[in-house]
Chain A
Amino acid sequence: MSENIKLSTLTALIAAQSITVTNALGSSVALNIRDVSMTNETPGTGIVIAINPQDCPVLSPRALNFVTNVKPTMDTYNSQSLGRHSIEYDLTYQLYFYPLGEGGSWAANYGANAVCVMAIMLYFMTHSDQFAGSGSEDFFPLAIPALQSQSDATSTLYHGAEISFHVKHFTED
């Protein structure tokens, strides 16, 4: 028996979800969801991965503290190959809905952002069974602490929110 924590499988599956939302222009568009690899900087070049406003809304792994509250559990005591282990953790994504201040005032698009956030939350609440193929035995939205501005790698501010998920894996394949 081999054991794995299929974080990259899960983040790839999240990125592959097809979620239709309404953007700041009032159009129905597919939410751009980034995999965790797309948040990497290119070492030594000073290049950082910024958000392109034309791609908005974008749901991207939070570069700082993407994975938090990691809690491994030894479910059964036995030899390495027979014991059963679980791990729980939280993933936090940032929604970049639209640049703050675009459209006349900072408050423009505030309501549209709220609607978009709730549409994303509802999608994940009602599609949690989609993630069984990633090896996650439990996957569910955890929280949206607040609707608040999000800063990308170039310090541009966006309407948005942080959306976190709680994940539990059994580590055996």
Chain B
Amino acid sequence: MATGRTHRKNVRVYADGYDLSGYTRGIGPLAETYDEDGDFAFTDPVKGFLPGQAKLSLGTQNGLFDNTATVGLHAVLAGGAGSLHTVTVAMGIRAAPAAGDACYGAQHELQEYATDPNSGMLYANAKWGPASEAGKTLLYSKPWGVLLHANSAETAANTAIGIDQLAATAFGGYMVVHILSGDSGTITLKVQDAATNLNASFADVTGMTTGAVAATAGTSYLIAIGRTAALREFVRWQLALGTAATCTFVMTLHRAYN
């Protein structure tokens, strides 16, 4: 994981288990906005406000109209307006996203899918609604997390050390998984944590697992644990192969800090 600033070309977009990065020209703003609830009297010289409830927004996704079967932007999104999608936007730091990099992840309903045949190059625009009532993230107002596993294939369990998130917390969190390809066998993908960053110290985070699922492209999961669940300082991805021998996936962890 590198640190510092970056260029937009290093952003990657995943939706519902598909990598839309090669079709996407822009997405956002990725916004976390709070209502302004006023609490002031006639005699107050200055109006005071408190932040109200949060609204998470994914903004508008501008992309290339592409009807490549199954994976093209049109194939993934055209039939999806009005329905729920799991979306991750990963921010690579001067390179493609790597484990430890920041990422946005939430579930949104696609409010609008539009293409304009009047322009020269045919583009497609998707307008994403706020975090959905039908989604699983309404417990969590912070959509930003950390990339545990960048887009690559795995064929064995993880024995590497994890990512240092500086302190343990007791406010829960959620994980997002996109399975981008696989051999359709079964696999369990999960998050592990540890108090010390040694392979032997890591243990599964209770509830933060997909359970046994098919390693099949086009599948995604957002799995939240309780708001008072403990997460130790160091975290990593883990898998348990069932009948699957390989799986290409992206995994993120969104730890809550309050």
Contacts and interface: CB of A to CB of B under 8 A. Distances in A.
Contact of B7 (A84, A138, A172): A138
Contacts of A132: 94-95
Contacts of B94: 132, 137, 170
A168 B4 CA distance: 16
Given A132-B94, A132-B95, A137-B94, A84 B9 contact: no
Nearest to A170: B5
B4 A138 contact: no
A137 B7 contact: yes
B5 A84 contact: yes
B95 A172 contact: no
Contacts of B96: 129
Contacts of A84: 5
Given A132-B94, A132-B95, A170-B94, A138 B9 contact: yes
A147 B175 CA distance: 54
Interface in B94-121: 94-96
Contacts of A170: 4-5, 94
A170 B94 CA distance: 10
Contacts of B95: 129, 132
15 contacts: A84-B5, A129-B95, A129-B96, A132-B94, A132-B95, A137-B6, A137-B7, A137-B94, A138-B7, A138-B9, A168-B7, A170-B4, A170-B5, A170-B94, A172-B4
Q: Which 5 A-B pairs have the closest CB atoms?
A: A137-B7, A132-B95, A138-B7, A137-B94, A132-B94
Given A132-B94, A137-B94, A138-B7, 12 more contacts: A84-B5, A129-B95, A129-B96, A132-B95, A137-B6, A137-B7, A138-B9, A168-B7, A170-B4, A170-B5, A170-B94, A172-B4
Interface of B: 4-7, 9, 94-96
